[in-house]
Amino acid sequence: MSRIGVFTCWCGENIARTVDVDEVAKRVAELPGVRCSLNYKYMCADPGQTIVREKIVSEKLDGVVVASCSPHMHLKTFRKAAQAAGLNPYLVEMANIREQCSWVHHDRAQATAKAIEIIHLAVEKARNDAALQPIRVPVTRRALVIGGGVAGIQAALDIADAGHEVVMVEREPSIGGKMAGLSETFPTLDCSQCILTPRMVEVGQHPRIKLYSYSEVEKVEGFVGNFKITIRQKARYVDVSKCTGCGECWNVCPLKRNPSEFDYGMGMRPAIYIPFPQAVPARPVIDKSQCAKLIRNGCGLCEKKCKAEAINFKDEDRLVEEAVGAVVVATGYKLYSIAKPQPKATLAGYGEYGYGKYKDVIDSLQFERLVSASGPTGGVLKRPSDGEIPKSVVFISCVGSRDNAKGLPYCSKICCMYTAKHTMLYKHKVHEGQAHVFYMDIRAGGKGYDEFVRRAIEQDGAKYYRGRVSKITQEGGKLVVRGADTLAGMPVTIEADMVVLAAAMRPADGIEELAQKLNIGCDEFGFLLESHPKLRPVETNTTGIFIAGACHSPKDIPEAVAQASAAASKVQVMLAADELTREPEIAAINEQTCAACFACVRTCPYHAIDRAELRTARGAFIKNTARVNPGLCMGCGTCVSVCPSKSADLQGFTDQQVYAMVESLA
């Protein structure tokens, strides 16, 4: 037998002016299951809440309905009040007779009749409420950061400084990401490495950061608070505990002419190498596809030379397991590969620009290395073909971006800014040089950004043509660039010494496999999906996994850093206690009646339902079943609708409740 207390609020005049609250209280008292019914001027105020608490005790109520404003306003308020009086908060419901009744109708009789029916609905719901308990999920108070670029570094430092251990996994031999290879950054023209390397060192030396470099995430198991990560530490063939980083090995290596990944092919490196001098860890790695010893048991000079006996040609990949409670994915980006044949016909490359054909047609990251003080040319802008200093350089924007026909439809956001930056760096190095920029629009929306671009044009004399380039050919030692100036309304042909293509930003290689391992979503371009584009930009649909940086969408360094700190703060919320509490209004499956068709498993947007086995207490197999993970379910109820046997139900919105509500309208 139900003992529901119904408390009808006047809300001052807001309800009482239109709804006859006395009549409501009187008629509601006659509804089945209602133990007491009264009205009061302001239920949400202290005296009002006191009335509720007192009635709960004096009338031994087992359910409460407050007929007042929207549950979005005060459901939590009244649930707290009920809890204070010893009533389970999930036995409290609200009937919205203000926003959805008194405020939208003027006829007193109609509004009163409707209010009574609205309350009847709520009473039926309350009669079928169950006393739910919050769900507690134990938490391993450590975090994993995948990716050691600026976003990963920021996130790792924030979390570690907050007092939690961080495991960082970076697949390159050193952390630093793309930012470590940039020369100067906009809009300040700060030296990129100068601002980054102190952070890199901090990560390398932080007592609470465990860095797995030259490693990748192999497998992810578990769920929020309880992830088990298997990490593959790739064989370096160098024992980092013995190595001192003296550099003898890479000096003596005879195989020096391997294109450097860090320099994007603009420079060379030996087979045993350190990617750049400020690498963290500052330990070399042997490229097993190039090393003579590893391929055909020749050479071995580095081993002979190494005083620390740190070279180990017998090294093997190692699998390590780490337990963490939260994950931040910060895997960064790569540039659209202009020359290579594209996997999809729509990404057709831009062969007409001659990238890969003409040595002096390069992309923006390659340009960064050429102007970088620690780059392969020592910061002197020597063009790749003959080492000459170019007197005229053409910069082409939007190569691969904003192109529905044969590229990617989105804007890569940073290219307008770095192209302007490139023209300035060029001018600062080659005073008599002339920069030409072919652009579609200038997107310079950040703090100081537009001023920066104007500086490139007005102070550093960059010439900007609003138009696209149709073709680049080599004629008489010059790169002939044929484009258009749509503002002047005429074609433009420039004989350039070098061309720099602002290639589109894409997520890093392997993102789709990683996303699958983590059970998070990617969009059609591979960028990781956030939970809600406005309100939850660093969370994913998989509780406990967060994203930051360019793996989410094209962005610049300030945004990547801000997002990384945002993700770190979300991680800190998660790791704040030994247990996570979650709202219990989630799905539950009757495993006895479940037909194990797994429609719910494939429907759940949060992958919160797994295939499982129902076993006896002794472990004997009974049947297959679907099982909800209470740590992940967000309570949408989509599983309930697809379940053919009606084994899935949603606590707080059960079939029993909803049917009782509908049937009260008969």
Partner 1 sequence: MSTAHEFEPKIVAYVCNWCTYLGADLAGTARLEYPPNVRIIRLPCTGRIDFNLIIKALEVGADGVLVSGCHPGDCHYTAGNYHARRRWILFRELLDTLGVDLRRIEFAWISAAEGRKWQQVVTEFTEQTRKLGPYKELYATGPVPDVPAPETATPEAKSFAAERELREVCQKLLAEGTVKVVIGYGARGPVVVTRPEDAGRLVWNNRCFSNLTAYLKRKEIKALGKAAVIVKPCDEKSLVELEKEAQFERKGAHVIGMACEGVGQPKCAHCTARTPRFADVTLGVAAGAEPQSSPSPNRFAALMAMPPAERMAFWTEELNRCVKCYACRQVCPMCYCERCIVDKNRPIAIDPAPSTKGNFAWQIARAFHLAGRCVGCGECSRACPAGIDLALLNISLHIAAQKNFGYEAGADPKAEPLIGSYTLHDTEVFIR
Partner 2 sequence: MSEIISQSVLRALTAEWIAGGKSVAGPARVKPDLVLYRTLRSEDELLLEGFQRPSNSIKDFLFPKAEKLYGYKIHGNSIELIENDSPEPARVIIAARPCDAAALPILDHVFNWDFHDEFYNRRRAATTVVTLACNAHDENCFCTSVGLDPGSERGSDAILFALGNGQYEVRCATEKGRALFDGKTEKSERTGKTIPGPEKRFDAQAVRAFVTTHFEDPFWKEHALTCIGCGTCAFSCPACHCFDIVDAGPAAGNARMKTWDSCQFSTFTAHASGHNPRPVQATRQRQRILHKFAIYPEKFGEILCTGCGNCARNCPVGLGVLGVASEINHG
User: Interface with partner 1 by CB under 8 A: which residues?
Assistant: 70-72, 96, 98-101, 103-107, 110-111, 113-114, 117-118, 121, 531-532, 541, 585, 592-593, 595-600, 602-603, 605-606, 611, 624, 634-638, 640-642, 644-647, 650, 653, 655-656, 658-663, 665-666
Pick the closer one to partner 1 by CB: 219 or 536: 536
Q: Closest distance between partner 2 and the C-beta of residue 665, in Å? A: 9
The residue type found at 610 is D
Q: Closest distance between partner 2 and the C-beta of residue 614, in Å? A: 14
Q: Closest distance between partner 1 and the C-beta of residue 585, in Å? A: 8
Task: Name which of 466, 463, 461, 462 is nearest 485 in CA terms.
Answer: 466
**CB under 5 to 8 A by kind: which of partner 1, partner 2, none does 391 bind?**
none
Task: Name which of 443, 430, 562, 561 is nearest 502 in CA terms.
Answer: 443
Q: Closest distance between partner 1 and the C-beta of residue 118, in Å? A: 7
* Using rule CB under 8 A, residue 432 touches partner 2: no
96 CB burial (10 A radius; 0-12, 13-18, 19+) = buried
Task: Give the Cα separation of 288 and 291 in Å (integer).
Answer: 5
Q: Closest distance between partner 2 and the C-beta of residue 124, in Å? A: 11
Q: Closest distance between partner 1 and the C-beta of residue 536, in Å? A: 10
H-run or E-run covering 165: strand 165-169
Helix 415-429 crosses helix 364-371 at what angle (to 10 degrees)? 30
**CB under 5 to 8 A by kind: which of partner 2, partner 1, none does 450 bind?**
none
Q: Closest distance between partner 2 and the C-beta of residue 643, in Å? A: 19
Pick the closer one to partner 1 by CB: 146 or 650: 650
**CB under 5 to 8 A by kind: which of partner 2, partner 1, none does 30 bind?**
partner 2
Contact mark string toward partner 2, 33..52, x via CB under 8 A: x-------------------
The total of other beta-carbon atoms located within 10 Å of residue 458's CB is 9
Q: Closest distance between partner 2 and the C-beta of residue 27, in Å? A: 10
CA distance from start to end of the chain: 22
Q: Closest distance between partner 2 and the C-beta of residue 32, in Å? A: 6
Task: Give the Cα separation of 288 and 300 in Å (integer).
Answer: 13
The residues in 6-35 that bind partner 2, with binding defined as CB under 8 A, are 30-33
Pick the closer one to partner 1 by CB: 375 or 637: 637
Pick the closer one to partner 1 by CB: 219 or 646: 646
Backbone angles phi, psi at 518, to 5 degrees: -85, -10
CA 650 vs. chain centroid, Å, equals 29
Contact assessment for residue 232 and residue 319, using Cβ atoms and an 8 Å cutoff? yes
Pick the closer one to partner 2 by CB: 197 or 654: 654
**CB under 5 to 8 A by kind: which of partner 1, partner 2, none does 214 bind?**
none
Contact assessment for residue 576 and residue 360, using Cβ atoms and an 8 Å cutoff? no
Contact assessment for residue 148 and residue 177, using Cβ atoms and an 8 Å cutoff? yes
**CB under 5 to 8 A by kind: which of partner 2, partner 1, none does 104 bind?**
partner 1
**CB under 5 to 8 A by kind: which of partner 1, partner 2, none does 525 bind?**
none
SS (HEC) of 22-47: HHHHHHHCCCCCEEEEEEECCCCCHH
Task: Give the Cα separation of 432 and 423 in Å (integer).
Answer: 12
- E-assigned strands of 51-132? 63-68, 92-96
Task: Give the Cα separation of 489 and 483 in Å (integer).
Answer: 11
Provide the sign of the torsion angle of the four alpha carbons 582, 585, 587, 593, taken in this order: positive
**CB under 5 to 8 A by kind: which of partner 1, partner 2, none does 646 bind?**
partner 1
Q: What's the angle, vertex CA 632, arms to CA 627 and CA 637, rounded to 5?
A: 70
Provide the sign of the torsion angle of the four alpha carbons 263, 264, 270, 272, taken in this order: positive
Contact assessment for residue 171 and residue 146, using Cβ atoms and an 8 Å cutoff? no
**CB under 5 to 8 A by kind: which of partner 2, partner 1, none does 460 bind?**
none
**CB under 5 to 8 A by kind: which of partner 2, partner 1, none does 373 bind?**
none
Task: Name which of 599, 589, 596 is nearest 647 in CA terms.
Answer: 589
User: What is the side-by-side order of every strand in the sheet holding 469-475?
Assistant: 469-475, 478-485, 490-496
Contact mark string toward partner 2, 647..666, x via CB under 8 A: ------------x--xxx-x
Pick the closer one to partner 2 by CB: 201 or 662: 662
**CB under 5 to 8 A by kind: which of partner 1, partner 2, none does 379 bind?**
none
Task: Name which of 621, 619, 620, 596 is nearest 609 in CA terms.
Answer: 596
Task: Name which of 212, 229, 207 is nearest 220 in CA terms.
Answer: 229
Pick the closer one to partner 2 by CB: 345 or 665: 665
Pick the closer one to partner 2 by CB: 33 or 537: 33
The residues in 313-372 that bind partner 2, with binding defined as CB under 8 A, are none
Helix 655-663 crosses helix 108-127 at what angle (to 10 degrees)? 150
Pick the closer one to partner 2 by CB: 31 or 604: 31
**CB under 5 to 8 A by kind: which of partner 1, partner 2, none does 532 bind?**
partner 1
**CB under 5 to 8 A by kind: which of partner 1, partner 2, none does 268 bind?**
none
**CB under 5 to 8 A by kind: which of partner 1, partner 2, none does 32 bind?**
partner 2
Residues binding partner 2: number (CB under 8 A): 9
Q: What is the DSSP letter of 341?
A: P
What is the binding site for partner 2 (CB under 8 A)? Answer: 30-33, 659, 662-664, 666
